[in-house]
Amino acid sequence: MVLLNRRRFLKASAQSATAASLAGIPGFRLSEAASADDALESNPAARIESWIKDYTATSPRNSIRNSENEKAWEEPLVGFSGGDDPIFKQYKEYVGPFHWTPLEIFQLNYPNQSVKEEELTVISWILPHTEAIKADLRKRTKEPSEKWIRARLYGEQFNEELRKYLADNLTQAGHPAVVPILSQHFKMESGGPYGMASTWSERHAAYASGLGTFGLCDGLITAKGKAIRCGSVVAKIKVPATPRPYKDHHAYCLYYAKGVCGMCAERCAGNAVSKENAHDKNACMRQCMTTMRYATELGLEGGYGCGFCQTGVPCESQNPVQA
Ligand code: SF4
Ligand code: SF4
């Protein structure tokens, strides 16, 4: 009789489950899927990054679902931060006491798992908009473009699927994972220093993972600019943290770094950004809600989007401080 220890059993189960799962994904061959677990154990950063990039490149769901079936997203950026990074406790002060540490959201999802914060990793990614989507909104000043609203609606649906895909792959490979913003516990709370905020911020996870800093309008400026969306997963796996190549949370914004620009304030359609008061979240939310009616007129029920501050500005597609 052959006895399998728990680790070998998990590994064997994970390989067959992952193979079955990946077999349905365009662009994947079973031979690749069969080696998925070994690749993850030997170089987790590279394996996770390739999962995220390959899924974005090959999934038919990366689409704004217009007649041309244009892509929503270019190749992602990927970064990692440790579950024991002190920055996550600092977020309780900067975002609100309700903002989860990686350990808190992991334990909410896996109450029976014994885990230490240093055993967890936050995996974060940036999905950059395509040039066609950015160019469409760049020309506009009042109503957002149809492509932008489609990208906000269908592109974010793809982002949700990417979060689940990554969490499923990791969990099946023996590394339990949770998608914080899809957790049943995720919610908006008041009582933070900037009013309403969520229990997990994708942009703050990205900042912690070395992917960018905040601009005058609060958007995250990355190496591929600010016309982006972010996603993240918390997993019980050790991955080396990505260095944060900045000391200041506004390092990539021209206004804070050099005292110039302010174009996001000029472009803002809702008077929600100013050099004096930075970003007014309530005014921004009101403006975004007004676009719902316009989205419905376009036949995009449930869609909305603004984003004038993300296009036609120096930080749209690059870090302007290093440009
Ligand atoms: S448009 Fe200018 S001021 Fe606004 S976030 Fe970008 S770099 Fe900063
Ligand atoms: S999303 Fe719209 S309303 Fe909000 S800051 Fe940007 S341009 Fe202004």
The Cα–Cα gap between 46 and 58 comes to 18
With a pLDDT cut of 70, the percent of the chain lying above it is 89
Of all protein residues, whose CA lies closest to atom 7 belonging to ligand 2? 268
What is the model's pLDDT at position 203?
98
**What are φ and ψ of residue 224, in 5° steps?**
-105, 20
The stretch 81-88 carries a mean pLDDT of 98
Residue 18 has pLDDT above 50, yes or no: no
Evaluate: CB of 144 within 6 angstroms of ligand 2.
no
Residue 235 has pLDDT above 80, yes or no: yes
How far does the centroid of ligand 2 lie from the alpha carbon of residue 168, in Å?
34
Residue 27 has pLDDT above 50, yes or no: no
Residue at token pair 């008061």: 277
What is the model's pLDDT at position 36?
53
The stretch 236-255 carries a mean pLDDT of 97
Residue 31 has pLDDT above 80, yes or no: no
Evaluate: CB of 217 within 6 angstroms of ligand 2.
yes
- pLDDT band at residue 7 under the 50/70/90 scheme: very low
For the ranges 72-81, 271-280, 297-306, the one whose mean pLDDT is highest: 72-81
The stretch 219-243 carries a mean pLDDT of 98
What is the model's pLDDT at position 257?
97
For the chain, the average pLDDT equals 89
Evaluate: CB of 253 within 6 angstroms of ligand 1.
yes
Range of weakest confidence among 64-73, 183-192, 260-269: 183-192
Q: CA nearest 56: which of 229, 264, 212, 227?
A: 229
Evaluate: CB of 251 within 6 angstroms of ligand 1.
no
**Nearest ligand 1 atom to alpha carbon 320:** 7
Evaluate: CB of 262 within 6 angstroms of ligand 1.
yes
Return the half-sphere exposure (C-beta side, CA atoms, 13 A cut-off) of residue 145.
18
Q: CA nearest 118: which of 85, 84, 142?
A: 84
What is the model's pLDDT at position 193?
82
Report the DSSP beta bridge partners of residue 178.
Answer: 234
- pLDDT band at residue 277 under the 50/70/90 scheme: confident
- pLDDT band at residue 68 under the 50/70/90 scheme: very high
Query: Which ligand minimizes its atom distance to the CA of 148?
Result: 2
Evaluate: CB of 253 within 6 angstroms of ligand 2.
no
Query: Which ligand minimizes its atom distance to the CA of 215?
Result: 1
Of all protein residues, whose CA lies closest to atom 4 belonging to ligand 1? 264
The stretch 271-282 carries a mean pLDDT of 91
Helices (H), the chain: 6-22, 30-34, 36-42, 44-58, 87-94, 102-109, 131-138, 146-150, 156-172, 202-208, 254-258, 263-267, 281-297
Residue 10 has pLDDT above 70, yes or no: no
Q: Rounded to the nearest 5 degrees, what angle is found at the Cα of 201, between the Cα atoms of 253 and 313?
A: 25
Q: Please return the burial class of 285, using the count of CB atoms within 10 Å of its CB with bins 0-12, 13-18 and 19+.
A: middle
Residue 21 has pLDDT above 50, yes or no: no
Residue 109 has pLDDT above 70, yes or no: yes
pTM of the full structure: 0.89
- pLDDT band at residue 30 under the 50/70/90 scheme: very low
The stretch 186-196 carries a mean pLDDT of 86
What is the model's pLDDT at position 190?
85
**Nearest ligand 1 atom to alpha carbon 216:** 5
The Cα–Cα gap between 102 and 123 comes to 11
How far does the centroid of ligand 2 lie from the alpha carbon of residue 91, in Å?
23
What is the model's pLDDT at position 312?
97
The stretch 127-134 carries a mean pLDDT of 98
Of all protein residues, whose CA lies closest to atom 3 belonging to ligand 1? 262
Evaluate: CB of 227 within 6 angstroms of ligand 2.
no
